[in-house]
């Protein structure tokens, strides 16, 4: 399915705005979500992190970093979770997940012993 969508984006048939790069970002996000749902959590975190790159939409970066942080927090990797929550905050300071990322960063830091 991902390969078909990439071919369509190259052929100009894609429905996402922002050109082929934006379509690739959307496909990468969907791939990360699929890995998460399949329980391949380390791979999902890596795929979410790959979306945190220069030029990626700030909302997508925030969503991806927030999702990675949630996985890391559930798996007890509190330092990594805190860092990702903080990166999510920085990616889109006025973004939709601002408050959730702030709370996540504070809770992860506290759970890791940083009061």
pLDDT tens by residue, 59-75: 999 999 999 999 999 99
Question: Cβ distance 2 to 28 under 8 Å?
Answer: no
Q: Judge whether 82 and 108 are in contact, CB under 8 Å.
A: yes
Taking only the tens place, the pLDDT of each residue in 3-51 is 666 566 566 554 555 555 668 888 899 999 999 999 999 999 999 999 9
C-alpha to C-alpha distance for 70 and 84, rounded to whole angstroms: 9
Listed in sequence order, the residues at least 6 apart from 111 whose beta carbon sits closer than 8 Å to its beta carbon are 73, 78
């Amino acid at each position: 399915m991902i390969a078909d969508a990439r071919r369509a984006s190259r052929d100009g048939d894609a429905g996402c705005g922002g050109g082929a790069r934006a379509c690739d970002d959307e496909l990468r996000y969907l791939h990360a979500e699929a890995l998460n749902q399949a329980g391949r959590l380390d791979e999902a975190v890596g795929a979410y992190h790959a979306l945190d790159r220069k030029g990626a939409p700030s909302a997508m970066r925030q969503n991806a970093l927030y999702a990675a942080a949630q996985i890391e927090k559930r798996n007890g990797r509190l330092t990594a979770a805190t860092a990702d929550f903080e990166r999510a905050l920085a990616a889109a300071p006025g973004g939709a997940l601002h408050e959730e990322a702030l709370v996540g960063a504070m809770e992860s830091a506290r759970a890791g012993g940083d009061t």
